[in-house]
Amino acid sequence: MQLLRKSVFVAVLFVLCFALPRTASAASHKVHAVFLGVVKTVPYSKAGDPSGAAPGEDSLKIRALVVDGALKEWTTGEMHDITDRSFAVRRALRVNDALPTDAPAAKTAPAVSHWVWQRGPWLLVDRVTGHITALRLPHYDPGVSQVSWYRDYAAYCGLTASGKSLYAVVAQVDARRPSLAKRLAPFDAANRPAAVCAAPEWQRDPMRVTFHPAGMSAVSYQIAPGSAVLVEDAGEEESAPDPAASK
């Protein structure tokens, strides 16, 4: 009888030794639910929107970016899968267009708010960690730049900080410097065409991108392909390594 009890105790101890680490490991890796909601149409204001609008466009199609059941951002346009876990999508902004001189109807009434929808910057979304990062694209201008994606490269026409020069830009996500930045022409904001630059076109082999600035012939550049520089974290809940273990 005593031998039987000892055998049961050893069996239980064996199960606990192997089950507990697995349970702790599973708890340290939280599974995140990241998805884009259904398309909805909202009123769109051309006035004051640096991104402009297509002829006859008086509404904007938006989708909710939801992480773990919570609304994080509103997005517009098509998403682009960069890897099997990360994608880029353009943000939709709801901006208060009220002026300081817009007085409320009564002195006791709250301040006036006039909310309008506009196109915003690009976001990088990680499906595994649920992280959302605003992309910092060099020379990106919402009124000029129409981004065309290929792998982790974004091609678009951009403006210098002074706004006086139009550039052909190819930026790689997470790279410190653009892969391409070539001056195309002087830029006159007062006499700018309705469409400054059409969306660039990509070619796979050899890796080449073609820009279509308004009033100019198409310009093509060959890009030296490199490894993706996008670093994807293992997970925000992953525990840090034990310093003592490396000694």
Higher pLDDT, 124 or 105: 124
Q: Is the pLDDT of residue 36 over 90?
A: yes
What are the residue boundaries of the structural domains of the chain, listed by start? 31-135, 136-229
- Farthest-apart Cα atoms in the chain, separation: 97
pLDDT in tens, 144-177: 899 999 999 999 999 998 889 999 999 999 888 9
pLDDT of res. 178: 92
Question: Quick one: three-class SS letters along the chain?
Answer: CHHHHHHHHHHHHHHHHHHHHHHHHHHHCCCCCEEECCCEEEEECCCCCCCCCCCCCCEEEEEEEEECCEEEEEEEEEEEECCCCEEEEEEEEEEECCCCCCCCCCCCCCCCCCEEEEEEEEEEEECCCCCEEECCCCCCCCCCCCCEEECCEEEEEEECCCCCEEEEEEEECCCCCCCEEEEEEECCHHHCCCCCEEEEEEECCCCEEEEEECCCCCEEEECCCCCCCCCCCCCCCCCCCCHHHHC
pLDDT of res. 184: 95
pLDDT in tens, 56-81: 677 889 999 999 999 999 999 999 99
Q: Which long-range contacts (CB under 8 A, 24 or more apart) does 211-218 make?
A: 211/155, 211/157, 211/168, 211/184, 213/157, 213/166, 213/168, 213/184, 213/185, 216/184, 216/185
Return the percentage of the chain with pLDDT > 90, whole number.
49
How many CB atoms are located within 10 Å of the residue 232 CB? Answer: 17
Global confidence as pTM: 0.75
pLDDT in tens, 3-28: 445 554 445 444 445 444 544 444 45
Return all residues near 149 (Cβ < 8 A) that are at least 6 apart: 80, 82, 88, 155
Higher pLDDT, 26 or 102: 102
pLDDT of res. 106: 57
Q: In angstroms, rounded to a whole number, what is the distance separating the alpha carbons of residues 173 and 179?
A: 10
Give residue 54's pLDDT band: very low, low, confident or very high (50, 70, 90).
Answer: low
pLDDT of res. 57: 74
Return the percentage of the chain with pLDDT > 70, whole number.
73
Give residue 114's pLDDT band: very low, low, confident or very high (50, 70, 90).
Answer: confident
pLDDT of res. 115: 84
